Amino acid sequence: MALKLPKIDLDFLKQKKRPLHVAIDGSNLIGWTKKNGKEEKDAAIRNVEQLTRFVNYQIKSDIPIITLNISAETEDEIVELVKFFKELETNESIQKHKVRIFVIGRWFDMEQRLTSSFKKLMEDTAEYDNLFLNFCVKYDGQEEVLGVINLLARKAMLGKINLDELNKDMIKENLYSSYFTPPEIIIEPSKIYSGLLLWDAKGAKIFQTRKHWLDLTTADIDDAITWANRE
Residue 49 confidence (pLDDT): 97
Q: How many structural domains comprise the chain?
A: 2
**79 vs 57: CA distance, rounded Å:** 24
2 falls in which pLDDT band (50, 70, 90)?
very low
Give the mean model confidence (pLDDT) for residues 4-22.
Answer: 64
- Average pLDDT over all residues of the chain: 90
Angle at 19 between CA 45 and CA 62, to 5 degrees: 60
Q: Examine the pLDDT at 36 and tell me if it is beyond 50.
A: yes
Q: In what order do the strands lie in the sheet with 205-208?
A: 99-104, 131-137, 65-70, 21-26, 185-188, 205-208
The yes-or-no verdict on residue 1 having pLDDT over 50 is no
In a domain, 122, yes or no: yes
Same domain for 49 and 146, yes or no, is no
CA distance 155 to 63: 37
Q: Residue 145 sits in which domain range?
A: 141-175
Q: Is residue 14 part of a domain?
A: no
The single-letter code of the amino acid at 229 is N
Tens of pLDDT, residue by residue over 50-75, are: 999 999 999 999 999 999 999 988 89
Q: Are 59 and 83 part of one and the same domain?
A: yes
79-138: pLDDT as tens digits: 999 999 999 999 999 999 999 999 999 999 999 999 999 999 999 999 998 999 999 999
Report whether pLDDT(179) > 70. Answer: yes
Number of C-beta neighbours around residue 135 at 10 A: 26
Give the start-end residues of each E strand in 87-230.
99-104, 131-137, 185-188, 205-208
Q: State residue 30's pLDDT score.
A: 84
What's the pTM?
A: 0.90
In a domain, 24, yes or no: yes
Question: Is 197 among the domain residues?
Answer: yes
The domain spanning residue 37 has which CATH number?
3.40.1180.10
The verdict on 69 and 154 lying in the same domain is no
Please indicate, yes or no, whether residues 66 and 145 belong to a single structural domain of this protein: no
Q: Has residue 11 got a pLDDT over 70?
A: no
Is residue 157 a part of any domain in this protein?
A: yes
Both 120 and 64 in a single domain?
yes
The pLDDT score that the predictor gives to residue 180 is: 84
Dist CA 171 CA 24 (whole Å): 23
Residue 13 maps to a domain: no
**Angle, CA of 56, 215 and 41, to the nearest 5°:** 90
